[in-house]
């Protein structure tokens, strides 16, 4: 186990002095950034996507080098050119996408590259498991060293990543969007673990866009916008509204979304006993039954990897069901391909916009025409109507607020938020009867995200049946009229959105609770109703 250098008396854990980062292509990621992170504190670095947060983390950890300026670690100048140098100086990083080997045990993952060995050179498994158990006990990070990572929850895997940094002697831990895929209960456990780390003298830096967790866990915060520091404060002295305004540069007004009770309506979308098995033979969906009425939003909540992506792919025609049925207005629309589903009134914003939502090398105008190029008025007698495509591009770019100088701009040149606006514009401009919104605001700035959410609500209010699939539980609760929880490919609970909170849903997302015979039919009982009856 590596022991990190001691901290200079009174020195900040991290200090950036007038740091600028400009990439070879001319992109200015950070400009004259100065900030101080005190030893033994929890410091949040917040800002919208593209604000420069991740670049700062990468420079501190040796994945990038500053163009100018100075970084100091524990009072000593540091110009790391490789993460190994940062690790040697006591800096560890827990990335948003966890870097673990699923087939190895927890202990094997933690000691990987620094394994205790027997005299014959083989791994000393007993010593590794004891070292990990002792480390976990010291910091109150509960894990079973002998458990396979593949069998562990996301929350446990994150604890493993933290222990990996501690095993290598980290006294400063950088965490990138640490709660992105955690349930509320797992967030509580993570925050408690972070508090214990700080109590033992570890400094924790969190990159996040979630204002609630900034307030819940951090001691101080620094806000970035367009690569520059726009403010810093003690967390207790600043409210959510002010942080948000510092992030986006303008006041934000988010009115509450009025709820719709559609249980007395005839469902437009009827899904019964839907099942899907992946190419490896694993059951991804099992007996999924749900209704979506015209003019309502059914939200799907669940920890990522519990079948949400397969539900979206089957219902959008990208994958075939292995059992069950799905109908729009009484007509089957699954297993027939994407074009047939679209012709029946389905439109979809896919989870992975880069892979499934856009052709990055084509222009904005071409992407907007990608689902209608084969019929009038986009084409006639097999020839594209270029004047119509251009005019339609002008109209949709303006309506959805895509920031670009021209419809001829390649989509690859757009920010994530503007790219998502292009996808949303294309899909909603078809006036769908059934709209699948999978992770509609993932990787999108606060201001842009609100605009996209407004479009989802507007589609509902026009009479569209909306299926909202989001890993952001706050988003699901804010936008949905009803909510179904998916756990291991099955619906395990059904709620009215205005009668449940994140913590209650989290119990069903992790399998700790289950509603008997749960479905999301319009006529199906809500879990809260069953609870009140039982009590």
Domain edge (last residue) among 394, 411, 431: 431
426 plus 442 within the same structural domain: no
Whole domain around residue 411: which residue ranges?
354-431
Position 179 scores a pLDDT of: 82
User: 152-190: string of b/e by CB count within 10 Å (b at 16+)?
Assistant: bebbbbbbbbbbbbbbbbbbbbbbbbbbbbbbbbbbebb
Does the pLDDT at position 288 exceed 60?
yes
Asked if the structure places residue 500 within a domain, the reply is yes
Domain edge (last residue) among 231, 248, 265: 248
Q: What is the pLDDT of residues 254-265, one digit of tens each?
A: 678 899 999 999
Q: What is the pLDDT of residues 409-435, one digit of tens each?
A: 999 888 777 889 999 999 999 999 999
CB-count exposure of residue 142 (10 Å: 0-12, 13-18, 19+): exposed
172 plus 131 within the same structural domain: yes
Cβ–Cβ contacts within 10 Å for residue 240, how many? Answer: 12
Position 3 scores a pLDDT of: 43
Residue 256, Cα to own-chain centre: how many angstroms? 23
98 plus 223 within the same structural domain: yes
In the numeric block, which tokens belong to residue 85? 């140098």
Position 210 scores a pLDDT of: 79
Interhelix angle 184-199/125-139, rounded to 10 degrees, is 90
What CA–CA distance (Å, rounded) separates 92 from 114?
15
* Share of residues in the chain with pLDDT > 70 (%): 96
Asked if the structure places residue 270 within a domain, the reply is yes
What CA–CA distance (Å, rounded) separates 340 from 334?
9
Position 253 scores a pLDDT of: 67
CA-based diameter of the chain, in Å?
A: 78
Q: What is the pLDDT of residues 493-534, one digit of tens each?
A: 999 999 999 999 999 998 999 999 999 999 999 998 766 555
In the numeric block, which tokens belong to residue 65? 């080098």
Strand, coil or helix: 387: helix
Specify whether the CB–CB gap between 432 and 348 falls below 8 A. Answer: no
Q: Indicate the pTM of the whole model.
A: 0.77
The DSSP H or E segment spanning 389 is helix 386-399
Mean pLDDT (the chain, rounded): 91
Asked if the structure places residue 5 within a domain, the reply is no
Does the pLDDT at position 6 exceed 80?
no
219 plus 116 within the same structural domain: yes
Asked if the structure places residue 7 within a domain, the reply is no
406 plus 291 within the same structural domain: no
Strand, coil or helix: 235: helix
Beta-carbon contacts of residue 249 (< 8 Å; ≥ 6 apart): 225, 230
Beta-carbon contacts of residue 472 (< 8 Å; ≥ 6 apart): 441, 442
Asked if the structure places residue 4 within a domain, the reply is no
243 plus 303 within the same structural domain: no
CATH number of the domain encompassing residue 42: 3.40.50.300
417 plus 277 within the same structural domain: no
What CA–CA distance (Å, rounded) separates 300 from 476?
7
Q: What is the pLDDT of residues 427-474, one digit of tens each?
A: 999 999 999 999 998 867 777 788 889 999 999 999 999 999 998 888
CB-count exposure of residue 532 (10 Å: 0-12, 13-18, 19+): exposed
Position 2 scores a pLDDT of: 45
210 plus 127 within the same structural domain: yes
Q: Give the total number of structural domains in the chain.
A: 3
DSSP state of 505: H
Taking alpha carbons only, the member of 170, 195, 165, 161 closest to residue 74 is 170
Q: What is the pLDDT of residues 82-126, one digit of tens each?
A: 999 999 999 999 987 788 999 999 999 999 999 999 999 899 999
Does the pLDDT at position 1 exceed 60?
no
What CA–CA distance (Å, rounded) separates 487 from 472?
16
Phi, psi dihedrals of residue 15, rounded to the nearest 5°: -140, 130
Q: What is the pLDDT of residues 368-412, one digit of tens each?
A: 999 999 999 999 888 999 999 999 999 999 999 888 889 999 998
Asked if the structure places residue 226 within a domain, the reply is yes
Asked if the structure places residue 2 within a domain, the reply is no
Asked if the structure places residue 188 within a domain, the reply is yes
Beta-carbon contacts of residue 43 (< 8 Å; ≥ 6 apart): 37, 203, 204, 205, 206, 218, 219, 220, 221, 222
Taking alpha carbons only, the member of 466, 167, 457, 119 closest to residue 294 is 466
385 plus 494 within the same structural domain: no
Domain edge (last residue) among 384, 416, 431: 431
436 plus 316 within the same structural domain: yes
Specify whether the CB–CB gap between 197 and 139 falls below 8 A. Answer: yes
134 plus 83 within the same structural domain: yes
136 plus 67 within the same structural domain: yes
């Amino acid at each position: 186990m590596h022991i990190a250098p001691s901290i200079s008396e009174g020195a900040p854990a991290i200090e950036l002095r007038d740091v600028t980062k400009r990439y070879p292509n001319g992109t200015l990621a950070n400009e004259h950034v100065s900030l101080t992170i005190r030893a033994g504190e929890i410091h949040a670095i917040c800002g919208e996507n593209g604000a420069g947060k991740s670049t700062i983390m990468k420079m501190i950890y040796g994945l990038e080098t500053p163009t100018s300026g100075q970084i100091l670690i524990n009072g000593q100048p540091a110009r790391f050119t490789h993460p190994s140098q940062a690790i040697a100086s006591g800096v560890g990083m827990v990335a948003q996408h966890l870097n673990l080997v699923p087939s190895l045990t927890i202990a094997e993952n933690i000691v990987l590259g620094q394994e205790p060995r027997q005299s014959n050179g083989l791994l000393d498994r007993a010593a590794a498991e004891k070292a990990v158990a002792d480390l976990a006990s010291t910091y109150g990070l509960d894990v079973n060293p002998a458990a396979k990572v593949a069998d562990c929850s996301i929350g446990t895997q994150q604890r493993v990543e933290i222990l990996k940094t501690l095993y290598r002697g980290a006294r400063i831990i950088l965490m990138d969007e640490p709660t992105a895929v955690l349930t509320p209960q797992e967030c509580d456990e993570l925050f408690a673990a972070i508090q214990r780390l700080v109590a033992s003298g570890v400094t924790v830096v969190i990159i996040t866009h979630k204002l609630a967790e900034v307030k819940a866990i951090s001691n101080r915060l620094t806000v970035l916008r367009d690569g520059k520091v726009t403010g810093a404060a003690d967390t207790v002295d600043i409210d959510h509204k002010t942080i948000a305004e510092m992030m986006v540069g303008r006041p934000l007004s988010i009115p509450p979304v009025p709820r719709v009770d559609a249980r007395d309506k005839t469902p437009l979308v009827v899904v019964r006993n839907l099942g899907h098995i992946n190419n490896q033979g694993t059951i991804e969906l099992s007996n999924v039954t749900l209704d979506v009425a015209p003019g309502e939003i059914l939200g799907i909540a669940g920890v990522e990897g519990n079948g949400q992506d397969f539900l979206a792919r089957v219902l959008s025609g990208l994958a075939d069901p292995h059992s069950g049925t799905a109908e729009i207005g009484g007509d089957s629309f699954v297993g027939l391909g994407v074009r047939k589903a679209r012709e029946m009134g389905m439109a979809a914003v896919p989870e992975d916009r880069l892979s499934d939502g856009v052709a990055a090398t084509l222009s904005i105008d071409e992407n907007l025409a990608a689902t209608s190029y084969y019929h009038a008025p986009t084409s006639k007698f097999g020839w594209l109507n270029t004047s119509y495509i251009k005019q339609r591009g002008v109209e949709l770019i303006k309506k959805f607020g895509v920031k670009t100088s021209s419809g001829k701009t390649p989509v690859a040149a757009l920010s994530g938020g503007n790219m998502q606006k292009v996808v949303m514009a294309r899909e909603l401009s078809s006036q769908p009867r059934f709209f699948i919104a999978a992770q509609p605001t993932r990787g999108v700035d606060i201001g842009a995200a609100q605009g996209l959410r407004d479009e989802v609500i507007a589609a509902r209010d026009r009479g569209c049946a909306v299926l909202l699939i989001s890993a952001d539980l706050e988003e699901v609760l804010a936008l949905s009229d009803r909510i179904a929880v998916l756990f291991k490919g099955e619906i395990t609970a059904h709620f009215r959105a205005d009668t449940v909170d994140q913590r209650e849903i989290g119990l069903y997302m992790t399998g700790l609770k289950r509603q008997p015979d749960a479905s999301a039919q319009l006529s199906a009982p809500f879990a809260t109703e069953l609870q009140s009856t039982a009590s």
